[in-house]
Amino acid sequence: MRLEELNWMDVENYLKTDNRIMVVLGACEQHAYLSLLTDVKIPMALADAASQESGVLVGPPVNFGVSPYFMNYPGTISLRVNTLLDVVEDYLTSLYQHGFRRILILNGHGGNEPARGRISEICNRYDDLNVIWYSWWTSHSVEQVAVGHQLKPNHANWLEAFPFVRVAELPEKPKTPPHYQGLMGAKQMRTVFGDGSFGGEYVVSDEIMNELFYAAYEDVLHYLKFE
């Protein structure tokens, strides 16, 4: 159940019995042969699946994140860090004003990590606000799937290549991860990483991807209990 499918009266009625909501933070950035909105589509799929099971409302996703290092790849749209922090603060305080008290952040993009500090400040401001931050690809459950299949997760490789984010044919031959050190600007980033994948297998079986998705889905359902 998505907020966009309701009117304000529906939300008011929802809040009479439940004060939980899921919020997706994503990005619009290069993912090699995958969708530019991969970092939105994956957590939104998890949110929709968990909502169907739990009945918890899903808020509109934040489609843009902090991605300055990919700005030499056309299609990438990057926010300044301060812009993202302000958007997140305004989003959460709006939800709080309406009565939402338990918010599960489903983060799809590593560049959004600075928002965690701002969220902590908001929680200090409102003692009855409970916010959980979940970045699916960093979870132990997902790591166990990768280790179990002897696969190394990386940006724009098999880890993110769910069928619903594939927008082109994926190379069958694995990519050797490039060697690099330190921070890089956008121009150097494209020179080093070429097609945008950070290396490893581009695609694996649907069975493995289903196992991966289910592991993250189970995590989301667990966190929605807000124990």
Q: Which of 11-20, 63-72, 137-146, 180-189 has the lowest mean pLDDT?
A: 180-189
- The helix/strand/coil state of 64 is coil
Give the pLDDT confidence score for residue 122 in this predicted structure: 97
Q: What is the pTM for the complete model shown?
A: 0.96
- Identify the H or E element spanning 213: helix 206-223
Could you give the CA distance from residue 90 to residue 110 in angstroms, rounded to a whole number? 21
Could you give the CA distance from residue 128 to residue 71 in angstroms, rounded to a whole number? 39
What is the pLDDT averaged over residues 71-84? 98
* Domain architecture of the chain: domains with CATH: 3-223 (3.40.50.10310)
Give the pLDDT confidence score for residue 179 in this predicted structure: 84
DSSP lists the bridge partners of residue 175 as: 200
Q: In percent, how much of the chain has pLDDT > 70?
A: 100
Residue pair 158/201 in contact by the 8 Å Cβ criterion? yes
Which tens digits make up the pLDDT trace of 90-118?
A: 999 999 999 999 999 999 999 999 999 99
Q: Evaluate if residue 6 carries a pLDDT over 80.
A: yes
- The helix/strand/coil state of 193 is helix
Give the pLDDT confidence score for residue 79 in this predicted structure: 98
Residue pair 192/184 in contact by the 8 Å Cβ criterion? yes
Token reading at 62: 């934040």
User: N- to C-terminal Cα distance for the chain?
Assistant: 22
Could you give the CA distance from residue 196 to residue 215 in angstroms, rounded to a whole number? 26
Q: Evaluate if residue 227 carries a pLDDT over 80.
A: no
Outline where 76-202 has alpha helix (H): 81-98, 115-125, 140-148, 186-193
Backbone angles phi, psi at 21, to 5 degrees: -155, 145
